[in-house]
Every structure is written in C-alpha cells, then in structure tokens.
C-alpha cells in the first residue's frame, strides 16, 4: 500500500487529505501539494485508521499530549483515563511513553481507547526488554530493536519518534564541548548514547536508516526524527551537540521523504525566548520545510510546578514563528508522573499557546473569534461569551460558582460594572451596526 506522500505525488487526493482541507477551510489542491512536498504530514496507519489530523504548513498548530507509566507507578486504568482526558481536552495527537509494566498491554489499551493518532518512542521498550532479558540494556540486539519497531507499527501507531540523529559524530561534539550544564534529559537519547559507547558501535538507527524508513513506510506511520540531544537547560540551548543532531535529522528528513515516507523533525526542549525564532528558521531551511515538532519549549528553568505556564509562553512563540506541532508540558514536569488533572491542565495551556501563536502566524484569519468575544463582553452577552470561549465548560463553571445579584454583571465588579455603565452612557451613539 502506498503512503500519503506517495499518493499525493501521483495526484491522488485521499479521504484524509479531503477531511483535513475541510477541517482547516483550505483548498484540497493546497493540501495535496503540501503533502506531496512533505510540508504537511498526516499521522496514519493502514492497520488502525485514526482520526485524520494534518500537521504542517498553512495549518493550525497542533497539540500533542504525552502519557505513560513509569517504573514507580504502573496503573493501566489511570493511563487510559489520561488518554481519554487528553482527547476530551482537545489534544490533536497522543504519545504513549510507558516504561513500566506490560508495555505491549498499555500501548494496545491506549490505542483502543482513543480516536487520536497515537505515537511512541520504540527505544523505551527496547531497552526495557533488553534489561529484563539480559540484565543489561546495553546488550540490546539490533535485530530485536527492528523487530520491535515492526511490532509496534503493526499495533497501529500513527507516528514514531526514532532517535536516528545520534551518531558517533554528535557524541564527539558533546564530549569536545565539555558536556553540559543540564546534562542529557532524553531517555532514548541517553540509552542510545550508552549503547554506542558500551559496544563501540554506530547507532543502528542511523547506520541502517533505510531499514527504519522501510518499516514505517509499510504502515504509512510518520517517522518523527527524535532529538535525543535536546537541551534540558536554557544555557545548553543551541550548543554544538544539539545543532549537529538537528542538522543530521534534517538531512535524514530529506532522505526519508525521497523514499516515500512521511517525515517530522523534532525540536529542542529548553530554549530562551530570543533563540526560538532562529531555531525554527534553521530547521525549516535545512529540512526543506519539513513539519517541526517542538517539545515545549520551556524558556526558563526555575518554575517547577508551573512549567505548563512557562512552556505555554515558549509554545506561543514557537507557533508564531512556524512550529507545526507542540508537545504539551504539565504542572508535574520535572517533579512527578502527571495525574489525569495534570494532563487536562497541560493540554489546555498548550492549546491556548497554539491559538495565540496562530493569531500572529495567520493574522488574516486568526483574530475574528477574538473580535466577536470582545463585542459579547461589551454587550454582557454571557451565552455568546461561553460559545466563543476555548473552554466554555470551565468558564461557565467559574461564573456559576460565584453568581452576582444582578445576573447581567459578574462578582468581579458587581454594581461597578464598567461594561454596563459604559453601555448605558453611550447607548445609541457608539453601538450596534456602527462597529
């Protein structure tokens, strides 16, 4: 079976492309062309057929939510609830990143529980199973790794973060620069670096990249080029190791695209605000416009407990400057495994950030909703305000918990409501069809 990008190159508008065109209010011809050029990807899988979601040029910025067990907490039902909470809160994609318990079971239960495209990181299970089988993750056999990638794709994964860009050259850059302030923070990245050093071998995911592409292409699973050397501290952002891996991933994106596989490039985690625009411009230029998946980014290191807010600030900037997919961050980041409520808060914060970024990325179509909200607030039209809100149930619940005596106003101002007073003051002079 052909992939979305191969079909687009043959001029075939798939059902998924047509759905995305309708959802995004764009012409089918535009979607067809961008998919053919690899500038839009559609996370998919022939074995599962998830909800059609487009990621890339000209589309609204999408939000990913990540869930999964840890070695300390394994609760299968809770992870299913988290997945469903992410979907209910408006996530566009989901990553299942478990490292504890029965990893096949939790992956399959999550895929069955939601309609969203689901992704993962195959190195997590590979190193977990090698550790159990051999007592040492560094004894992972590459055939076991490739077999696992095939098995996970067969289960229905729509995209997969594969750490192909870590190789001996990138590790040498890391050594020569004198390591880092924040160390290495990618589980997959650390695992592969340790494997390479222990075995004195090249990364098989890089060395046999065509084999990786061949497996994912078989299922039309999007290959997301993982950033195992992403910065975990803003003082490590844009260092030589990170930029070198980005360069390699951009080269691989071009190779994979030419082979007929849909390709994403992943971006860094901790980035100061003044480097976000340059990072995105660099990725877009070097990759030929491949969609960019930004992890956060987090623009300060000193707000644990509120990293969903710090990440939202970075995500809004990322969306504004051209990032295509944002990975949410929850309040538990750096502290604990997220709860169901943490997932909801993380998705909502990221959705707000993506919306703000899109207002500036697409100003010609991205501000009408805000104009209508302003008018509804001016006119104290509460039902209209709720209908225009990103999260109407939350807004309605807050107002309902503290209702004023005069239901036209709110308890913030009560008798001193400026909107009500101004409305009376200027009635018939500055209202209605004059605005």
Number of neighbouring beta carbons within 10 Å of residue 200: 7
Pairing assessment for the beta strands 325-327 and 62-67 based on DSSP bridges = parallel
For 4-361, the fitting CATH number among 3.20.20.540, 3.40.630.30, 1.20.1250.20, 3.20.20.70 is: 3.20.20.540
Task: Output phi, psi for 162, to 5 deg.
Answer: -115, 130
Q: How confident is the model at residue 435, as a pLDDT? A: 42
Residues across the chain: 435
Burial label for 375, CB within 10 Å (0-12, 13-18, 19+), is middle
Strands 40-41 vs 55-56: parallel, antiparallel or unpaired: antiparallel
SS3 150: helix
Integer Cα distance of 27 and 195 in angstroms: 47
Cα separation values, 117 from 83, 157, 221, 260, 315, Å: 11, 7, 10, 20, 21
With b for 16 or more beta-carbon neighbours within 10 A and e for fewer, the 388-405 pattern comes to beeeeeeeeeebeeeeee
Give 10-residue mean pLDDT values along the chain (435 residues).
Answer: 97 98 97 98 97 98 98 98 98 98 98 98 98 97 97 98 96 94 95 97 98 98 96 96 97 98 96 97 97 96 98 98 98 98 98 96 86 95 97 96 92 91 77 47
Element (H, E) at 264: strand 263-267
* Domain coordinates in residue numbering, the chain: 4-361, 368-434
pLDDT in tens, 198-219: 999 999 999 999 999 999 999 9
- Are the beta carbons of 109 and 83 closer than 8 angstroms? no
The string of pLDDT tens digits covering residues 123-150 is 999 999 999 999 999 999 999 999 999 9
**Cβ atoms within 10 Å, residue 132:** 9
Q: For tokens 């990170």, what's the residue?
A: 242
How far, in Å, are 183, 216, 229, 311, 343 from residue 306 at the CA level? Answer: 22, 36, 24, 9, 13
């Amino acid at each position: 079976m052909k992939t979305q990008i191969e079909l687009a190159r043959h001029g075939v508008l798939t059902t998924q492309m047509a759905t995305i065109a309708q959802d995004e209010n764009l012409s089918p011809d535009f979607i067809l062309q961008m998919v053919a050029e690899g500038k839009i990807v559609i996370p998919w899988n022939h074995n599962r057929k998830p909800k059609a979601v487009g990621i890339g040029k000209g589309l609204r910025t999408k939000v990913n939510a990540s869930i999964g067990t840890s070695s300390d907490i394994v609760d299968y039902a809770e992870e299913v609830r988290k997945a469903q909470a992410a979907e209910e809160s408006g996530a566009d994609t989901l990553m299942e990143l478990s490292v504890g318990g029965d990893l096949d079971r939790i992956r399959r239960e999550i895929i069955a529980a939601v309609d969203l495209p689901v992704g993962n990181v195959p190195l997590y299970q590979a190193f977990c199973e090698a550790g159990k089988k051999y007592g040492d993750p560094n004894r992972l056999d590459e055939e076991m790794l490739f077999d696992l990638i095939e098995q996970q794709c067969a289960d229905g994964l729509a995209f997969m973060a594969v750490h192909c860009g870590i190789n001996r050259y990138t590790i040498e850059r890391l050594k020569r620069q004198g390591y880092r302030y924040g160390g290495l923070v990618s589980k997959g990245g650390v695992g592969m670096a340790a494997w390479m050093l222990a075995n004195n071998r090249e990364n098989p995911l890089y060395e046999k990249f065509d084999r990786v592409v061949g497996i994912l292409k078989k299922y039309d699973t999007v290959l997301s080029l993982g950033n195992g050397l992403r910065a975990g501290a803003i003082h490590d952002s844009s260092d030589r190791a990170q930029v070198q891996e980005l360069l390699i991933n951009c080269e691989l994106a071009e190779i994979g695209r030419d082979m007929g596989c849909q390709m994403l490039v992943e971006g860094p985690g901790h980035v100061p605000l003044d480097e976000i625009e340059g990072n995105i411009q660099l990725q877009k230029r070097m990759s030929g416009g491949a969609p960019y998946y930004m992890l956060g980014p987090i623009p300060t290191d000193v707000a644990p407990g509120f990293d969903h807010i710090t990440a939202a600030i970075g995500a809004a900037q990322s969306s504004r400057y051209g990032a295509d997919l944002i990975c949410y961050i929850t309040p538990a980041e750096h502290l604990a495994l997220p709860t169901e409520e943490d997932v909801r808060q993380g998705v909502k914060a990221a959705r707000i950030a993506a919306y703000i970024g899109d207002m500036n990325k697409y100003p010609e179509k991205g501000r009408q909703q805000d104009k209508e909200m302003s008018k509804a607030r001016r006119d104290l039209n509460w039902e209209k305000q709720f209908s225009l809100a990103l999260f109407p149930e939350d807004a309605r619940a807050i107002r309902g918990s503290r209702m004023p005596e005069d239901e036209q106003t709110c308890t913030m101002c009560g008798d001193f409501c400026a909107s009500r007073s101004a409305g009376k003051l200027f009635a018939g002079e500055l209202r209605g069809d004059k605005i």
